[in-house]
Each structure stands twice: as C-alpha cells, then as structure tokens.
A and B are shown apart, each in its own frame.
Chain A
C-alpha cells in the first residue's frame, strides 16, 4: 500500500518501444503468422527496442506542483503518457490516485464542422466529464473561452487562437485531482495567457497536484514546488525546483562546452544522457568557478533589477596552480541573442578569490536575460561555465535597451 499522501507513485518503471524504422523488421501478416505458427512469444530482442524509460522511481505528493525537465528525447513525454494511462508500462508500476486530466494536446476530438458548443460537449465527455457536470459547467467554459457569438459557429471558422482558447477552457474545467500538462501554458494572447495562469494558480491553491513538462526553465523555477530532471530515461535529479534547474543548466552548458572543443557532444545524440560533471572534467581541472552572485548598488540581490540600477557580478574563482586567467561574461536576451559580451585578463592568479564586473547602470529593458559566466586559465576554458537568469523589472516602453532618457517640450 502506498501512503495516502502521494498522488503519483512510480516504482522502477521501464518503457520500451519497438523500433519500426529498421528495414525488414516490419510486422507483416506473414511474419506474424510465422510467429504464431511457431508458437513464439513476442521477444524483447536487444537492438530492436528503444528503451525510453529505464527504471524511473518517483513519488509526487498530493498538492505538489512538479516540473519535469530534460532534453528532447529524454523520456519526459513518455512518462507523462504513462501517468495519464495512454501507455502502459513495460515493467514496473505506476499508481495515480484520483481523477487525472491531461492537457497533452488541446482539442482532442474536436470536429471542425461542429459549433463551439457542440464541441464542448463531445470534448468534455472524452475528457471524462458526465453530461450533468457538463451542463452545469457549460456557462463557465463559454465565459472562460471568450468567444462571444462565435460559440455557435462551426469550429473551422475559428482562428487558431480561438480554437486553443476553447480547448483550454474545456480541459481546465474537468476539475481533476491530478492535472498533467505538456507545454501548453502559453495559450493565446497576453491577456488570455494571464487568465490561464490565474486558472493554474487557482488549481495549485486548491490543493491539486500538477505535473508539468516544459522547456521553459523560468516557469519551473518560479512556479513549481519541485522539479524532476529526466536524463537518458532515468531521473537524474529530483528536488526543489531552483536547484534542479540550476544543475540542469550547468550540465547543458558543460555539454555544450565539451561539444565546442571536441566537435560532438551528448547533445547531438537524442536519448543519450548528458555527461555527469565528473565525466566532463576528465582529470583535475586547472581552475573552476565556484559561484556567481548578482548584486545591485546596495549589495542586495533583488528578485528583479531596476533598469537604471547598478549591477555587480561577483565571480568566485579558484585555480589549482598559478595561471594566467581570463574572465568572460556574455549577456543574452531570452531568445538567445547576444546583448553584449565582455572579457578581461585578470593576470597571473593563484589560489582563489572573487572577480567583479561592475555596471554603473544596467540600462536593459524589462524582461529575463541570461548571463553566461566563463573563465579560462592559460587558454584552457573552465569546464563549468555558469548560467544564471537576470530578471529586469518592466518599465514604460519595450525593447532590450533602456538608455538614460528624458522627454521634454
């Protein structure tokens, strides 16, 4: 028996899929007949199966909001489909307590020729609501979707935004105990995005369990109570969201750095686990970056920096032996564009210490940026460059840049 405090309990879960791409290995009537006549069981032959999950253990307590992160092909979506019951485990067990609603794809079973109202009915029943429940919730769904008179028009006349809003409205009105979400928090325009965010917060407050798969690490960090990092079909790390996300970021950065040097990395091979830190370091490193801190003028670290505030980046470094050290800091916008890059020769250094980069005025527009802090000793880059998010508080006007400006008449 499982303790009643867990919404989802996964024990040593394996899931493998049959490879279908290999030539001569299609199941045909003939091959299947031959197999039947010979009385063979379907064998799990090595090489013809892809192991998507290789021994996952996970306990998700009731009321938790858990983000599942990991690279493409690491097994995240497979795990979600197993939680939902769409797939069944190859071996191992998975127990989900309570009613599950999965937002894997919005609008499952929508028919283009039917009106919004008719589609709410059918979609709602597919998602597991009874007719009575639907009748009761119909006004709420229609109101949430904000379709106006379009609710009685065929769905094929809808814009894609309207379609998504309707689908999202139905899916979130199922009133599940466990909500499983795959990358769909960004629905519709800014206004609807906020509205769905509110709905999600409502879910969380009312003690529902939420499992969320996303590549948006900021969401996981800010919004989830815990995060699970899946890598190569196993849980690599499970714990509080910020530290899991940080560890994941570092591993990706390390793999990227490795890739730049050797021309290939684990990132190029789908399904392959990222190398662990020890693997990457390969011997004793010459130097490391131990920590990076962001501070404003007063020496504090606010949740978001004001555009006009000064910024200090403190880099704790350590070298094994005396070396010529060069520090580098890249600032990237959320879409990965380089905003600026700066490098500085620290000269001959030994032991450990702290390097500082001071910006008298941040001068950035509101939003989330990413800092990549790296260093090199005697031309050899450190294996663990630091990545961290920089939140800048929104101001009047948009854009990456926020120079000191003054309007006048």
Chain B
C-alpha cells in the first residue's frame, strides 16, 4: 500500500498535468465552458428540489440548501467511482505504448473530481447566504472530512479500476450500485426520517445505515458542518477512516497483483 501511494506521489507531476488537462478538456468545446462546473450540480439540485421538494419542504427548512450540502459530496463520490472504474480499461493508448504507472489513471479521475468539488464549494456557501445561513467556524472541519472522504473514494476507485480491466461487466454493474447507494445515503432525505427496518428500532436502523454505508457518515458530516453548523459526529467518521484504510490495503494489493496484466488485457 505504502509503495503504491509513494509511487503515486513520485508521479505527481504527471497526475497534476493529466488532471489539469482533464479539467480543461471537459468543457473545452462547449459555449459556457468552465461555467458548467457550477451549472451541472445546480441543475442537478434543481431537478431533485422540484421532485422531492414538495414532500420534504415541510419537515426540512431551506430544503434546497439542505439537499445541496449532501449532493455536492455525493457527486464527488459518484462521478469519481463511475469515471474511475473504466479509467484504466479505456486508456489502451497509454498503457500499451509507454511505460506508465497505472494507478495515476484512477487517481487522476479522483483528483479532477476533487478539484471540481472544491470549485463548487463557493456555490454552496453562496446558496447558504441566499437562505440566510452565514458560514460558521465549523467550516475548518471540512479538511479532515474531505481527507477521509478522498481516501475512501480513492480506495474504492482503485479497486474497481483494477478489477474492471479483467471483468468489464463491472462497469455496467457499478452504475446500478452507485444509484442504489445514492438512495441508501441521506442525500435527498433526512437521516432522522429513516424508517425502522424489520424488527429494529428507528435508532438502530439509522445506526445500521451509518455502519454499512460510509457515504452516509460522510454526508452526515458535511450536513453537520454546513447545515446544522455543529461539530461533525467523529465516531462514525473515524470508523469510515479505519474502513478506508483497510479497503485501501485490499485495493492496492489487488491493484499490484493485477497490474501486470493491465497492458495485456486493455
């Protein structure tokens, strides 16, 4: 794991250059260009507000802002995983023609989406101000939350990217998995409104969700920082960090074991 990540650090120039290119290329041919970085999540949010706003407006004040605090970190996660899964299998041109550290490719996808996410944060704060929510000092906790989230995303993306080279079925499955995870994550709905599952109480089922869905804890932390303006609950966040570490260990092991076949199978 350490070797894989230090190698990534050694190739940071490549990683950064590829990410910048990715960002530039993404909107190059469009009229509105870079504005799409902000327009995309905004439009996405408006769609959800239109559909779910009717139901939720009563129980959650400033629903649009509430939704946005969860949607932005979710989009960071989902576009990284969706884009990262095929990041290696799609780059036959690079992998078979030059000696190329393969982990740079999924990392590039993650970094690109991270930058996109950071760029859209002012939009989030702006929307907050629009609803009269002035950002509080709790915003400094964004740093550890973002670190944990990025580490988690990188681990997931590594794993999927490495496996997808040999099993292309994965890229089709991942789309559906991510969509399912979206509904299992309190982005559109409030964690407290989670229904009781089976014989469990409401609290227990919420706990279950936080335990088995790392993104639920991550989104909840963002909510704490930006919406509730309080300290994020560190317990679930720490367990996400621990889980990410284990996952990263597994991912890099799988990655290293499979990397030899990348050039042959892409």
Binding site for B on A (CB under 8 A): 17-18, 27-29, 32, 81, 84-88, 100, 102, 104-105, 108-109, 111, 113-114, 118, 121-122, 125-128, 130-131
Contacts and interface: CB of A to CB of B under 8 A. Distances in A.
Contacts of B18: 122
A105 B169 CA distance: 29
Given A28-B167, A111-B25, A114-B24, A122 B99 contact: no
Contact of B21 (A18, A84, A104, A114): A114
A125 B13 contact: yes
B263 A81 contact: yes
A113 B29 contact: yes
Contact of A131 (B13, B21, B93, B95): B13
Interface of B: 13-14, 17-18, 21, 24-25, 28-29, 93-100, 166-167, 169-170, 260, 263-264
B13 A28 contact: no
- Dominant secondary structure of chain B at its interface with chain A: helix
B260 A88 contact: yes
B24 to A, nearest CB: 7
12 contacts: A17-B264, A27-B166, A86-B95, A86-B97, A102-B97, A108-B93, A108-B97, A111-B21, A114-B25, A122-B18, A125-B14, A125-B17
- Among A85, A104, A108, A122, the one with the most B-chain Cβ atoms within 10 Å of its Cβ is A108
A6 B132 CA distance: 72
Given A109-B93, A126-B98, A29 B169 contact: yes
Nearest to B29: A113
A397 B95 CA distance: 46
Counting from the closest, the 9 A-B pairs by CB-CB distance are A105-B97, A108-B97, A85-B99, A88-B260, A125-B17, A86-B263, A108-B98, A113-B28, A104-B97
Nearest to B21: A122
A121 B13 CA distance: 11
Contacts of B167: 27-29, 32
Contacts of B17: 121-122, 125
Contacts of B264: 17-18, 87
A84 B97 CA distance: 9
Contact of B166 (A32, A108, A127): A32
Contact of B169 (A28, A86, A104, A114): A28
A185 to B, nearest CB: 17
A230 B186 CA distance: 62
Contacts of A32: 166-167
